[in-house]
Structure 1
Amino acid sequence: MNQTEIRDKIEEILNESHTGTMATVKNNKPHSRYMTFFHRDLILYTPTDKNADKTEEIDANPYTHVIIGYEGEGFGDEYIEYQGKVTFNHSEELKKELWNDDMKSYFDGPEDPNYTLLEIHPIGVRLMNKKGEPPIELEI
């Protein structure tokens, strides 16, 4: 599989899968949680509350590990391991664009002052578990 095919497959998984785990470091230990992800090319975005624990964790260590795409069918499911560096994106335009009604459980609307986006830039992306084949690294 060449790099274009790898990237295409990764983008296909990102288009189809929106929930994954995101790990940060809390008290020098891994801390994971499920998050909802959107993407533009290979940059991931996920909504969060400005007051959430993860914002302090990211301030202390801006690196994350995300797993996204596993469908639960068992051995052979493809998924992505994504290592990235996180920044906070406060763009009102992007917050409105990515807003959906599922977020109403957490925020009053796209103008909610506690609603912000985590923007994750890739530093390593691997396509995993293609029916027992070894991981395939995307060149970033």
Structure 2
Amino acid sequence: MNQEEFKQKIKDIVDSNPIGTLSTVSQNKPNARYMYFQRDDITLLTATSKQTHKVDEIEENPNVHVLLGYTDWDSPYIEMQGTIKIRDKEVIKEEFWQDMMKHWFTGPDDPDLIILEIQPTAFRLMNSKEKEPVTLDM
């Protein structure tokens, strides 16, 4: 599988399975939570409140791990390692905004809303038709 095919598989998995886990590290212990992801090419984006523990953890250690996919025993999924940048500019919040977010935020101008931009450092494609996991280091 070449790099472009690999990237397309990543995009397909994110587009069809936008809910996954985001794992952070705090005091050398992992913390995982479900998040809703969108993508900009293969960079992942997710929204959160600046008042959450995950933001404190990210400020302490920006390295994260994401799992997306795996809908049944043999479906493909991705493992992603990356680093997070916190984005709070109005334009990115408006681009990311979806009506379902009204449950947590008043709108894209909510001062607590931030976007976590996950820059990938490595991807691992699991349960693909390949015999072994396929890895892409960035």
Residue in 2 that maps onto 1:11 = 11
Stretch deviating more after TM superposition (47-56 or 122-131): 122-131
In structure 1, C-alpha distance between the alignment counterparts of 2:23 and 2:85, rounded to whole Å: 15
Residue in 2 that maps onto 1:66 = 66
Out of 99, 105, 108, which is 2:106 matched to? 108
The count of residues paired between Structure 1 and Structure 2 equals: 138
Stretches of structure 2 lacking an aligned partner (at least 5 in a row): none
CA positional deviation for 1:91: 1.8
| Alignment pair present for 1:21 and 2:21 | yes
| Alignment pair present for 1:85 and 2:74 | no
1:56 aligned counterpart, secondary structure: helix
Amino acid at match of 2:15: N
Aligned pairs for 1:126-137 within 5 A:
126-130=124-128, 133-137=131-135
In structure 1, C-alpha distance between the alignment counterparts of 2:43 and 2:130, rounded to whole Å: 27
**Once superposed, which parts of structure 1, at least 4 consecutive aligned residues long, lie more than 3 Å away?**
none
Q: Would you say the 8 A contact 2:85–2:118 is kept in 1?
A: yes
Identity of aligned residues (%): 43
Q: TM-score, length-normalised on structure 2?
A: 0.95
Out of 118, 122, 126, which is 2:120 matched to? 122
Root mean square deviation, CA, Å: 1.3
Stretches of structure 1 lacking an aligned partner (at least 5 in a row): none
